[in-house]
Structure 1
Amino acid sequence: MDAGENPWLAMALNNAWANRTLYDAVKGLSQDAFIADRPGFFRSLWKTLNHVYEVDLYYIDALEAGGRGLAVYDRDEVRDAATLSVLQAEADMRFAAFCRAMTPERLSETRVTERDVGRIEETVAALILHLVQHQVHHRGQAHVQLQDAGVAPPQLDEFYLEYDRAETAGGYWR
């Protein structure tokens, strides 16, 4: 099933494209600009983007029933934008592969998430929707941080419609 027939896959591919587009804008920054204090909850692009990446790892692990839980957070933060970009792209493709194999039955399956209050079961559908929303939320913060760094934030909403679809989005629909 392709992205035109599978809205879960379409969301995952939009997510991958938006991250790639955002990182393309980030790659022009110096290391000092990447780690500099900026407006936003995480106070820098590198901290914001590390947060996005590690939360993706957490939810992808849950979706895949990988069993790592909160242990995914036991890692060093990546201070290099190019390395973080590659890692994020790998996570995005894992998420897309999971969504590509989606069935109606799988959407209603539950997965266990490990929380500070214990183990919580969530549906696959809810986990996917939350992962995508989390990404959108923090890409918005990264947009502000890019603008604060003097970089024009990229357009990230021209993916789904044929009309005015970003040229770079086309490859994700194949």
Structure 2
Amino acid sequence: MARYNAWQNRQLTEIVKQMDDAALDHDHGAFFSTIRGTLNHLLWGDTMWMSRFCDDVAKPEVGGDQSTTYTETTGVWQAQRFRMDGRIRIWSETLSNVDLLGDLTWYSGLTKSEMSKPRALCIAHLFNHQTHHRGQVHAMLTAGGHPAPVSDLAFMPEDA
């Protein structure tokens, strides 16, 4: 799933960097309104979850209520997205079965409380969250007349 995530984000990067600000910031009526807002939320979420999984990843400096403005420009988003995808891939390649055991406990800014869930469930959530929001971006791209990435796992290149 880490390979798939990086492959999807590379495709999105190639599309997004060709788009102007008006297209990226057009309100499509989606949950996070715009393509840029959704991509920022997704990067923010990945960063937040990875900060819970890895001691060397700092949690975002802004709360979830500011996740849609996590990065200011496409260039900043692209650089941070590339770094985060690499970190997720390295982390995932070092996971073992024992790393999936037990609970993960964290403070949730969303619920304003401490939460504890099975670690394996939280890891699955990381990848499910990515797929969910990239689907929203895909819909906004096609609604706006822009190309959308190939998203079928069966078509992921072996070297992705």
TM range (shorter): 0.7 to 0.9
Match among 84, 88, 91 for residue 81 of structure 2:
88
Specify every segment of 5 or more residues in structure 2 that has no aligned partner in the other structure, as ranges.
Answer: none
Cα deviations by residue, 1:56-80 (Å, 9 ceiling, x for unpaired): 1110011114696675537862232
Runs (4 or more) in structure 1 with deviation over 6 Å come to none
Match among 39, 43, 46 for residue 33 of structure 2:
43
Task: Say whether residues 1:132 and 2:120 are aligned partners.
Answer: no
**Residues 170 and 82 (structure 1), Cα distance of their counterparts in 2 relative to 1, 3 Å cut:** farther
**Aligned-partner Cα distance in 2 for 1:119–1:97:** 28
Match among 17, 23, 27 for residue 33 of structure 1:
23
**Aligned-partner Cα distance in 2 for 1:49–1:94:** 17
Tell me the secondary structure at the aligned position of residue 156 of structure 1. Answer: coil
Which one is further off, 70-79 or 94-103? 70-79
**Residues 82 and 67 (structure 1), Cα distance of their counterparts in 2 relative to 1, 3 Å cut:** closer
TM-score (structure 1 length as normaliser): 0.78
**Aligned-partner Cα distance in 2 for 1:120–1:21:** 34
Which one is further off, 89-98 or 62-71? 62-71
Task: Say whether residues 1:105 and 2:98 are aligned partners.
Answer: yes
**Aligned-partner Cα distance in 2 for 1:97–1:72:** 25
Q: Counterpart in 2 of 1:62? A: 52
Identity of aligned residues (%): 25
Aligned residues: 155
Q: Counterpart in 1 of 2:148? A: 153
TM-score (structure 2 length as normaliser): 0.84
Alpha-carbon shift at residue 108 of structure 1 (Å)? 0.6
**Residues 27 and 70 (structure 1), Cα distance of their counterparts in 2 relative to 1, 3 Å cut:** closer
Q: Counterpart in 2 of 1:171? A: 159
Specify every segment of 5 or more residues in structure 1 that has no aligned partner in the other structure, as ranges.
Answer: 1-10
Q: Judge conservation of contact 1:61–1:68 (CA < 8 Å) in 2.
A: yes
- Measured on the aligned residues, the alpha-carbon RMSD in Å equals 2.3
Cα deviations by residue, 1:83-116 (Å, 9 ceiling, x for unpaired): 2122112111111111111111111143222113
Alpha-carbon shift at residue 121 of structure 1 (Å)? 2.2
